[in-house]
Amino acid sequence: MKSFNPNTFFKDLRRKDHKPRLEALQILKYIGPGLLVTVGFIDPGNWASNIAAGAGYGYTLLWMVTLSTIMLIILQHNVAHLGIATGLCLSEATTRYTPNYVSKGILITAMMASISTSLAEILGGAIALNMLFKIPIPAGSILMVIFVCIMVFTNSYKLIEKIIVGFVSIIGLSFIYELSLVDINWAQAGMGWVTPSIPEGSIMVVMAVLGAVVMPHNLFLHSEIIQSRQWNLEDDKIIKKQLDYEFVDTLFSMIIGWAINSAMILMAAATFFKHGTPVNELQQAQSLLTPLVGKSASVIFATALFFAGAASTITSAMAGGSIFAGIFGEPYDAKDNHSRLGIAISLLVAILIIFLIRDPFKSLIISQMVLSIQLPFTIFMQIYLTSSKKVMGKYANTRSTTIILLIIGSIVTFLNVLLFISFFK
């Protein structure tokens, strides 16, 4: 059975004689993998989608963040079970348990989704550097890729996890400050969070919000990095405890992500929508914040965007490495050639596309739509694997869990059909 091995950091944690102390405070040691996944849905693509949602439709599309987050919690918890129970990530399991033509098709499209994700992350970080230091976007993109390569190839997973947790904290505090400067209509916001509505012309933004929250690469990544908390695959009691602790980590992390994504829409609704100001690019959003809520808010906005771009590019690169290594039936290892090649493909193809695009803001939104289009393939593959006793043994999904997952997959597919129909109207 293959084990997760980024830079061989977890080699000792795999020993059968390693018995962790599973006390009440031990759960704090499990917080981390979920936050790495959370970074993926508070990335620059989310910023573009959420600001477009808030500026164009006020509080109306907040429900999509709520629905997407609920679906995300269920999906991420389920795919983490795969990693804990089998020692395989989603990419490895797909290669091992499905025919070659199926696995190759799914994983190649997943790599395309990873590239689309990296494009949004790199571009967002570059836009932030342009806001803060007037660095041209192409040059900023190159700086972002250099920074990510240094982080992914030279540092351990443990350090990366701590850095990501720090970045998420900075982003969250930034939005708390931003919200303290604006006047939120909490009654309308409350209705928006729980009342589904698709205003005319909003389906593209709705799908972008969905693709920005429930992301294919995060499902692959979570099944890989959750194994950093794994001690003993043969001990059922430890596996059960891991599954319980993982759920707390996932729930805690996803709620943080829901709050930050909601804050983006709230801020855009309370500033741009309230004043009837359309937003077509993130730089414009920053400049428009200055006369509305002050210069400090625009600086905080750009700073938070940079940290979001940097953190999410790291996790996107790791996901690309995990997906590509899984095509060859291997676990992610930043020192292995297949993992390195996957990281390189995810980053370099993305940056080449960035050099060719003319509208960065629209490209961010389109990149999120690409994710939503690939998402059903990943979801239904995940359902097949986690429902199989051949793959999961006694940890296979119950009938009720499978039904819930199938409903989620059907909702995502239905929204994609609406998206394609909208193109012909």
What percent of the chain is predicted at pLDDT more than 70?
A: 84
pLDDT tens figures, 98-153: 999 999 999 999 999 899 889 888 988 998 899 899 999 999 999 999 999 998 98
The CATH number of 22-423 is 1.20.1740.10
Residue 239 predicted with pLDDT over 80: no
Distance of CA 49 to the CA centre of its chain: 14
Task: Check residues 5 and 335 and name the one with the higher pLDDT.
Answer: 335
Residue 390 predicted with pLDDT over 50: yes
Q: Using pLDDT thresholds of 50, 70 and 90, give the confidence band for residue 234.
A: low
Q: Among residues 341, 314, 39, 43, which one has the least CA distance to residue 152?
A: 314
d(Cα 89, Cα 87) in Å, to the nearest integer?
7
Residue that is written with structure tokens 């205003």 in the block: 199
d(Cα 359, Cα 65) in Å, to the nearest integer?
25
d(Cα 418, Cα 290) in Å, to the nearest integer?
37
pLDDT tens figures, 350-367: 999 888 887 776 676 677
Residue that is written with structure tokens 């395309």 in the block: 112
Q: What was the pLDDT predicted at 6?
A: 44
d(Cα 251, Cα 69) in Å, to the nearest integer?
10
* Domain residue spans of the chain: 22-423
Q: What was the pLDDT predicted at 336?
A: 92
Angle among Cα 241, 242, 248 to the nearest 5 degrees reads 95
Task: Check residues 175 and 189 and name the one with the higher pLDDT.
Answer: 189
pLDDT tens figures, 257-269: 999 999 999 999 9
Give the DSSP letter string of 137-180.
HHHHHHHHHHHHHHHHHHS-HHHHHHHHHHHHHHHHHHHHHHHH
Q: Which of 62-71, 128-137, 156-165, 399-408 has the lowest mean pLDDT?
A: 156-165
Task: Check residues 230 and 401 and name the one with the higher pLDDT.
Answer: 401
Q: Using pLDDT thresholds of 50, 70 and 90, give the confidence band for residue 61.
A: very high
Q: What was the pLDDT predicted at 425?
A: 62
Average predicted confidence (pLDDT) for the chain: 84
pTM: 0.83
Give the DSSP letter string of 211-245.
HHHS-HHHHHHHHHHGGGG---TT-HHHHHHHHHH
Amino acid in position 349: V
Residue 7 predicted with pLDDT over 60: no
Two tokens at 77? 């918890």
Q: How many CB atoms lie within 10 A of CB 398?
A: 9
Task: Check residues 7 and 182 and name the one with the higher pLDDT.
Answer: 182
Q: Using pLDDT thresholds of 50, 70 and 90, give the confidence band for residue 279.
A: confident
Two tokens at 295? 């210069």
